[in-house]
Structure 1
């Protein structure tokens, strides 16, 4: 498992990001699952095939997205929004159980960097710069 390709999101230049996505994909993409929104989403939309689907899951990068109308229309793209708020309590519970079972079986792995709480500032700067080793997990106590 793991990623087939990684695209650096260290710029807000949509054209530059779109070129990176195109290079990373083996041809046009069928689907973009987008938790970011913003310039990265606008760029990813340009990598979609004719009739491709773009599912927005969140806006962790930006609340707005500089998508141009011609990108949507010229490829007849389908833009969909998703929210967990549409799930019933039973569906949410089943999802949590499923994920927990997968984690218990060792089928899920999250790259993370454990950092003492006293080093939080430096860790967050690395995360903002894109140089952290996965998710930052702050731990109580001092560095050993």
Structure 2
């Protein structure tokens, strides 16, 4: 992977970091899975990875509004596409298995 965008962190961070190719970037945008997690710092050095943190609380409100407006206009025009695989809540196990195999799609579980 070139880029991992992670809103979960927690125990899954280590596996996500391991998926990055040399020179890859890891963007953390949250910690829904918990804040404290160990990972091997040598992965950052050996693969020359970039670890980035982002929080919208540091972004200017006008920038957030402008960004949302831009993305919404792309979606309304039909030019924003995102490959997805949809699973029911009963299929959550299959969704996790699909995610492990990195299918290149956003996994969506619908309750």
TM-score, normalised by the number of residues in structure 2: 0.65
Q: Which blocks of at least 5 consecutive residues in structure 2 are unaligned?
A: 96-107
Q: Which blocks of at least 5 consecutive residues in structure 1 are unaligned?
A: 1-28, 114-122, 137-144
The answer on 1:134 being equivalent to 2:109 is: yes
1:34 deviation in Å?
1.2
Does the Cα contact within 8 Å between 1:111 and 1:135 map onto a contact in 2? no
1:81 deviation in Å?
0.3
1:55 deviation in Å?
0.9
The answer on 1:59 being equivalent to 2:31 is: yes
1:83 deviation in Å?
1.0
Q: Deviations over 1:34-74 (max 9, x none)?
A: 11112222111112122221111111222222312222222
Does the Cα contact within 8 Å between 1:37 and 1:65 map onto a contact in 2? yes
1:75 deviation in Å?
1.7
1:76 deviation in Å?
2.3
Equivalence for 1:85: 57
Backbone CA RMSD of aligned residues: 2.9
Q: How many residues end up aligned between the 2 structures?
A: 96
Equivalence for 2:105: none
Equivalence for 1:15: none
The 3 A distance-change label for structure 1 pair 49 and 130 is same
Q: Which has the higher contact order (CA 8 A, sep 6+)?
A: 2
